[in-house]
């Protein structure tokens, strides 16, 4: 029964990841198209129209949440909790491999597409190419996987555990919006980052699901052997 459930989850997970990757490919192949430029301009100008002394510090906070140094600190804290509190060494390893892979792949994709950042719209200084957004790509996988791990560990003991995925989604979306607000990314950069990061997140979740299923099977086999 567990095997059927695992294969079903893997099937749907693989399908969802494929949809996200197709979306990424479509965006990457449309960077010079007029329709995408119009969408970028429309969404970008709408987000930037919200600029104010009150909103800018909030945008800076969320963009800092997506910086490598912040994610490193968060990873150390979460890794300690997973290892000491929950004894989840394999889940911690998946988180580490996932975020490092996302970061490395993002650098490769930026070097491949070499899309320049928006001109004359910056509120902060940024280096490097624009597509896809590293903040959106890495943060969607990193914070998404942390949210998943926290939710699966507390959902049976905390009635308000549903807040975890909600807060996770809000944080990730705000990180992406902050990049548009600050003028350092086009909306399509952020969407492509979400698509690639989301596909990676699904891959990490499927890996963890497989690890946990194998653990359960191993425990059941041990119990059956002790029964003999």
3-state secondary structure the chain: CHHHHHHHHHHHHHHHHHHHHHHHHHHHCCCCCHHHHHHHHHHHHHHHCCCCCCHHHHHHHHHHHCCHHHHHHHHHHHHHHHHHHCCCHHHHHHHHHHHHHHHHHHHHHHHHHCCCCCCCCCCCCCCCCCCCCHHHHHHHHHHHHHHHHHHHHHCCCCHHHHHHHHHHHHHHHHHHHHHHHCCCCCHHHHHHHHHHHHHHHHHHHHHHHHHHHHHHHHHHHHHHHHHC
Q: What is the mean pLDDT of each run of 10 residues along the chain (228 residues)?
A: 65 92 96 95 96 96 96 95 89 95 97 94 91 97 96 88 95 98 97 98 92 69 57
Per-residue pLDDT at 76: 96
Q: d(Cα 98, Cα 196) in Å, to the nearest integer?
A: 12
pLDDT at 13: 86
Both tokens of 3, joined, read: 């095997």
Q: What confidence score (pLDDT) does residue 224 get?
A: 56
pLDDT at 139: 97
pLDDT of residue 153: 87
Cα dihedral across residues 28, 34, 39, 42: positive or negative: positive
What is the reported pTM? Answer: 0.90
């Amino acid at each position: 029964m567990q095997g059927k459930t695992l294969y079903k989850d893997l099937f749907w997970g693989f399908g969802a990841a494929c949809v996200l990757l197709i979306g990424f490919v479509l965006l990457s192949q449309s960077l010079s198209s007029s329709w995408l430029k119009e969408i970028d301009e429309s969404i970008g100008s709408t987000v930037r129209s919200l600029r104010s002394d009150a909103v800018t510090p909030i945008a800076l906070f969320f963009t800092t949440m997506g910086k490598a140094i912040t994610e490193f600190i968060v990873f150390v804290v979460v890794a300690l909790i997973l290892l000491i509190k929950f004894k989840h060494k394999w889940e911690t390893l998946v988180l580490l491999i996932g975020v490092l892979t996302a970061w490395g792949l993002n650098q490769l994709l930026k070097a491949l597409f070499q899309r320049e950042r928006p001109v004359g719209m910056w509120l902060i200084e940024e280096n490097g190419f624009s597509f896809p957004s590293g903040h959106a790509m890495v943060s969607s996988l990193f914070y998404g996987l942390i949210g998943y791990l926290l939710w699966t560990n507390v959902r049976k003991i905390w009635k308000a555990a549903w807040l975890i995925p909600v807060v996770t989604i809000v944080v990730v979306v705000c990180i992406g919006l902050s990049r548009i607000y600050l003028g350092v990314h086009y909306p399509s950069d952020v969407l492509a980052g979400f698509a690639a990061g989301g596909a990676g997140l699904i891959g990490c979740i499927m890996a963890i699901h497989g690890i946990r299923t194998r653990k359960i099977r191993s425990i059941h086999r041990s119990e059956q052997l002790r029964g003999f």
